[in-house]
Structure 1
Amino acid sequence: MNPIEFWFDFSSGYAFFAAQRIEALAAELGRTVLWRPYMLGAAFSVTGARGLSSTPLKRDYAQRDWARIARQRGLTFRPPADHPHVALAATRAFYWIEAQSPDAATAFAQRVFDLYFSDRLDTASPEAVSRLGPEVGLEPEALLAGIADPALKETVRKIGEDAVARGIFGSPFFLVDDEPFWGWDRMEMMAEWIRTGGW
């Protein structure tokens, strides 16, 4: 069966919560997960939208909602004071790692979320991101060189553009059997869609 495509920006609070649940949910449904970080700014440039953290009223609500979800689920949620970061370094690192080992890339993505939302990782810094290399069996120097590879940079840019061309515009955003679901709060609906074959 087709995997659940999990599209996200590493700086998305709701994507953090989705990342805590998606693997277990997919296992319950007999599916795998295709983790797909991308730069949400690529979608904003098309939709004209702005991130929650830079939108008055929505920003205040989102901060309250994130804290509420974290308390309910017993999760640490402490984004950096200068949140959101432009997580380009982490996104490029993911795809470089994926080319070596998809399983390592998934573990890396989960670690990035955990560290960024506990205010212990600058996802915009190639040097900071590269220090996670040993946690997934890679040398920091190799990961740093991968992040800087011009071919990889072009690949990551194209992934973002292709995502938007497919109608992906938010974070988290899920595609399952070509059916789109936008938002952390659509995960249970997505699960029911898979269980029933849709409606």
Structure 2
Amino acid sequence: MRALDEGRAGARVPRIHFSFRSPFSWLGLLRLRELVPDLDDRVRFVPFWDPDPQTDAALAEQDAGFHYVQMSKAKHLYILQDTRRQAARLGVTMRWPIDDDPWWEVPHLAWLAAQRLGRGREFYDEVCAARWERGEDVCVPEAVRAIAGRLGLPAAIADATGDPDIRAEATRCLVAAYHDDIFGIPYFRVGPHRYWGLDRVESFAEALLARADPPAEPRPPVPAGAYDTDTAGGCG
């Protein structure tokens, strides 16, 4: 999974704005991977989440905000029912997680840390399995440490919320989403064309496949310091 990069060249790469909060984001990417097997080579992934006060303040400093509006109880109850329908249609089972005051920075900033280590796809899949298949609360550091352990990743990614460099990258992701007018998830962009929601997955896949094959791209460099990447102790 390729993360957000900056500059005009990066802006031309198709984007997927995803969220660990949204069941439709989870289901949408499951369907996309069926339609576009080399999806990770064709797009940039940009995480999207409800910002905590620290992120909110950082967005305000950059004259950015958050377009998403909290849903009503009626809409939430509809989504509970519709998600189960859509999951059954895709042949997957799910357990609706119980979130007690979720801190969404925890899994999303940990994804950014895993992505820097070249393990974003595996981390993404494991978080989705924990949240949507087992009903776990992935918004606590203990859950992320357990996920990291299963993947052989450094436990320190669970504490990415305390890393100023990761925090800055997270802010850039939400600033990009703000300027892209992202108001819901999943949200897809190919050039000037935008697609929102689970029912636009096929249209996005069609537009994506109509493009020329993407150029090969080296993995992003691993930052020094915060995350130990040697193989001792099972950390890969």
Output the TM-score relative to the length of structure 2. Answer: 0.69
Hey, what's the Cα distance between the residues in 1 that align with 2:195 and 2:184? 10
Task: Indicate whether 1:153 and 2:163 are aligned.
Answer: no
Hey, what's the Cα distance between the residues in 2 that align with 1:35 and 1:161? 14
- Aligned partner of 2:143 in structure 1 is 128
- Aligned partner of 2:202 in structure 1 is 188
- Aligned partner of 1:7 in structure 2 is 17
From 95, 105, 116, the equivalent of 2:131 is: 116
Whether contact under 8 Å (1:29, 1:191) holds in the other structure is: no
- Aligned partner of 2:79 in structure 1 is 62
Matches within 5 A, 1:14-93: 14-27=24-37, 32-40=42-50, 46-47=66-67, 49-51=69-71, 55-82=72-99, 85-93=102-110
Decide which structure has greater helix share: 1
Cα distance per residue 1:92-136 (max 9 Å; x no partner): 0011111121xx101111211111013443221122112211333
Aligned in 2, Cα 1:118/1:158: closer, same or farther, shift over 3 Å?
Answer: same
Whether contact under 8 Å (2:109, 2:166) holds in the other structure is: yes
Whether contact under 8 Å (1:76, 1:118) holds in the other structure is: yes
Whether contact under 8 Å (2:123, 2:151) holds in the other structure is: yes
Q: Percent of aligned positions with the same letter in both sequences? A: 24
Task: Indicate whether 1:163 and 2:177 are aligned.
Answer: yes
Q: Determine helix, strand or coil for the equivalent of 2:25.
A: helix
Whether contact under 8 Å (1:35, 1:106) holds in the other structure is: no
144-153 vs 63-72, greater mean Cα deviation: 144-153
Which AA in structure 2 matches 1:81? I
Output the TM-score relative to the length of structure 1. Answer: 0.81
Aligned in 2, Cα 1:40/1:176: closer, same or farther, shift over 3 Å?
Answer: farther
TM-superposed deviation, 1:71: 1.9
Q: Determine helix, strand or coil for the equivalent of 1:7.
A: strand
Aligned in 2, Cα 1:46/1:29: closer, same or farther, shift over 3 Å?
Answer: closer
TM-align CA RMSD: 2.7
**Number of aligned positions between the proteins:** 189
- Aligned partner of 1:95 in structure 2 is 112
Which AA in structure 2 matches 1:112? V
Hey, what's the Cα distance between the residues in 1 that align with 2:40 and 2:167? 33
TM-superposed deviation, 1:195: 4.9
Q: Determine helix, strand or coil for the equivalent of 1:132.
A: helix
Q: Between Structure 1 and Structure 2, whose CA radius of gyration is higher?
A: 2
Which AA in structure 2 matches 1:187? V
Hey, what's the Cα distance between the residues in 1 that align with 2:142 and 2:191? 37
TM-superposed deviation, 1:29: 8.0
Cα distance per residue 1:59-103 (max 9 Å; x no partner): 1211111111122222122121337844210000011111121xx
